[in-house]
Structure 1
Amino acid sequence: MSSLKILSGGAAQGLVASLAPKFKAVTGLDIEGEFGAVGVMAGKLRAGTPADVVVLTAAMIADLARENLVAGASIADIGLVETAIAIRAGDPPVSVHDTAALRDALLVADAIFVPDTKASTAGIHVAKVLQQLGIADEVAGRLKTFPNGATAMRHLAASIAARPIGCTQSTEIISTAGVMLSGSLPRGCELSTVYTAAVATQAADVRHARDLIELLTGADQRALRTRAGFLEA
């Protein structure tokens, strides 16, 4: 066995990538991962996709534990991830200090890059916020939707629109070259999501799965988690 298999929400992709060299140095294993919308990743596990470690929202991991698809005793929180606004690198910062400012920023944007609005944590929330602000119909033609936040951010970085903006989880913004974090969503529109790791019940390598979770959640990696965009839960 040369790699450990992980199914993960896109929010943890940057953190996993930053820890991969240390994990290999300790275990000799690479990390073979699928990262994407949390609903899609949970669906893959339920459909039988092999995995040693699963990283999803705390609520989804709890559901999977009840379904006996992850080991309850292995569950460990990684941290909180905020949903935030992204801008293309080099563009002026966008103020979203309150709901009125967020509404104005979305209305003036000529392209809005977001993850899947039906299967991803941030995308589902963006759709709710647009409804809450009363602008869902007005900006519908400007929404650029992608399977996950990382893909949405890569397209934002490459956008030739005059005033593009993005909204996804802060970790996906931080880990994508060519975009910048412009601010968390304001009070009343905010979303902070706890991400949690667990060993899959059908894991082929339980010992090294536990090693990876210890790396992801251990106190000695707190500074790395913070740089990746994770806050203490």
Structure 2
Amino acid sequence: MSSQEHQPVVLFSGLATVKALDDEILEAFTAETGIQVERNYDPTTELQRRMEAGERPDLLIAATGSVPGIAEATGALNEETAVALVTTAIGFGVKQGDAHPPIGTVDELVATLKATRSLAYSRAGQSGIYVQKLLKQLGIFDEVEAKATPLPKGFTGEAVVDGRASLAVQQLSELAYVDGVDIVGSLPEAVQHITEFSGVLGVEVAEDSDAAKLLSYLHSEKAAGAYRRSGLEVA
């Protein structure tokens, strides 16, 4: 669906950018332009499923590596408009006030994951997909999975705040979104996985549309500070 003057821009976005978008960027964009934005937040895999079912965003923010596949599967994106926006690392969080377990080296990480009461991760999220692969590479998948708290989607930090899990893993910006979570730190560099997120317009969206104006704003210096304050790096 393309945006019209009297219609809000339909935005689909992965969870990594939610804090920056909700805390600062979209409100500032609307204040400056008068353009309203309809916000739809889900993991990239879930956004693709929704688009395959027929939903059509004006603008998609998703993991860069997923954009070609989504475009091919749905026919809903204009890949030529894609622009890299941010990158984010994977890290761990605990309930505010809880002790921070050691994760600085791979050996420390393995020991912490084996000792933790329950690890919360998102099955559909980019971080959760990677962490499951990493646990298998480290040879501890079965042991950790047996006591894990996998979430279908959403913010894993909520599971440590409400007590379902003792340790949460997700993109750092997603951990920062949840009140009551202390960020312990990032995955060790040797096993870290950086994900880049891009913005891309819908296939029916005009180059001078409100959605195009939003994409330009998301790629501007006006948005850069908000990204950094939410735990993201500008791409």
TM-score (norm 2): 0.89
2:3 corresponds to: none
In structure 1, distance between residues paired with 2:110 and 2:78: 42
Q: 2:38 aligns with which of 23, 32, 37?
A: 32
For the pair 1:90 / 2:97, whether they are aligned, the reply is yes
Identity across the alignment (%): 21
> Could you give the per-residue CA deviations for residues 7-49 of structure 1, whole angstroms, max 9, x where no partner exists?
1111111122121211221233332222122111112123221
Cα-Cα RMSD = 2.0
Structure 1: gaps spanning 5 or more residues? none
1:9 corresponds to: 14
For the pair 1:79 / 2:86, whether they are aligned, the reply is yes
1:108 corresponds to: 115
Structure 2: gaps spanning 5 or more residues? 1-5
In structure 2, distance between residues paired with 1:141 and 1:200: 41
1:123 corresponds to: 128
In structure 1, distance between residues paired with 2:137 and 2:83: 33
1:223 corresponds to: 225
In structure 2, distance between residues paired with 1:44 and 1:160: 28
1:172 corresponds to: 174
> Could you give the per-residue CA deviations for residues 93-117 of structure 1, whole angstroms, max 9, x where no partner exists?
222111111111111111211111x
For the pair 1:197 / 2:187, whether they are aligned, the reply is no
For the pair 1:70 / 2:77, whether they are aligned, the reply is yes
2:140 corresponds to: 135
SS of residue matched to 2:189: coil
AA of the residue aligned to 2:127: A
AA of the residue aligned to 1:124: I
In structure 1, distance between residues paired with 2:35 and 2:109: 44
Aligned residue-pair number: 228
In structure 2, distance between residues paired with 1:167 and 1:157: 13
1:182 corresponds to: 184
In structure 2, distance between residues paired with 1:50 and 1:204: 14
Q: Tell whether the 8 Å contact from 2:44 to 2:125 is kept in structure 1 after alignment.
A: yes
Residues 101, 25 of structure 1: alpha-carbon distance in 2 compared, 3 angstrom cutoff: same
> Alpha-carbon deviation of 1:203?
4.1
TM-score (norm 1): 0.89
1:41-60, aligned counterparts within 5 Å? 41-60=47-66
